[in-house]
Chains A and B, each alone.
Chain A
């Protein structure tokens, strides 16, 4: 074995030999499988910070899970820091998860119809939830007029809706 065949470019099986079709050839252009492999590692490191930060602030600090309500979310998203944090969390985590599901489906769904169906479901769910989540974060109204004008709902709103 030459030293370069680890990289997969120098050893080319004889034409017509049974190994020819498995030969590694120098790749041209973008290798999407490689992009996915790198993405899982890069996004994974960032997600460790984003998710444990998210869990600490929402579940451990303050009153824990009891503090989470509409006013709590409104208070967080009044700060651009958490808007950016949650946007990154949404995109990085959902694409990381979807690519992981793609790997698992490709490993176990041997039947082509089943595999294509499952991959389509994961892809569709991912695109829809990325759009929905992004829309929710950037069109969020902490003081919706319907609730501002409903005495039964004003108590649910953040106090800054009534300041000034």
Chain B
């Protein structure tokens, strides 16, 4: 049930980010300085942490989505759904273990 709740919450959150992200990207059609000014907001430390939350949400939604597909189409999917949930969590932690240090150095280290 928690995978279902998390899938919904992350899905709705990602949808609203997508709406904003299409609008901010559309500024490239308006003028270079308008786009650079708005995209500059993504480079602040607060938004940098927001990007970690975004990647965490997308990672969980993507991995659990693949789990749902396996439950639906793999003949043993339903039997292993619980084990696959924990595999999702492990892969999600691995994903974040790769991304978070890199992102922190990008935000705070200027690398």
| Inter-chain contacts of B77 with A (CB < 8 A) | none
How far is B73's CA from A71's CA once the two chains are assembled, in angstroms? 44
Q: Is A119 an interface residue (CB 8 A)?
A: no
Contact indicator per residue, chain A 22-64, by CB within 8 Å of chain B (1) or not (0):
0000000000000000000100110110011001000110011
Q: Is B42 an interface residue (CB 8 A)?
A: yes
Cβ A65 vs Cβ B22 within 8 A: no
| Inter-chain contacts of B48 with A (CB < 8 A) | 65
Cβ B32 vs Cβ A139 within 8 A: no
Nearest CB to that of B54 among chain A residues? A55
| Cross-chain contact of A44 among B31, B65, B107 (Cβ < 8 A) | B65
How far is B33's CA from A104's CA once the two chains are assembled, in angstroms? 38
Q: Is A82 an interface residue (CB 8 A)?
A: no
Cβ B12 vs Cβ A136 within 8 A: no
CB distance from B57 to the nearest CB of A (A): 11
Q: Is B8 an interface residue (CB 8 A)?
A: yes
Stretch at the interface among A3-11, A13-21, A94-102, A109-117: A94-102
| Inter-chain contacts of A73 with B (CB < 8 A) | 25, 28, 35
Cβ A94 vs Cβ B36 within 8 A: no
Interface residues of B (CB under 8 A from A): 8, 11-12, 14-15, 18-19, 22-23, 25-26, 28-29, 31-33, 35-36, 39, 42-43, 48, 51, 55, 58, 62, 65-66, 68-69, 72-73, 99, 102-103, 106-107, 110-111
Interface residues of A (CB under 8 A from B): 41, 44-45, 47-48, 51-52, 55, 59-60, 63-66, 68-71, 73-74, 90, 93-94, 97-98, 100-101, 104, 125, 129, 132-133, 135-136, 139-141, 144, 146-147, 152-153, 156-157
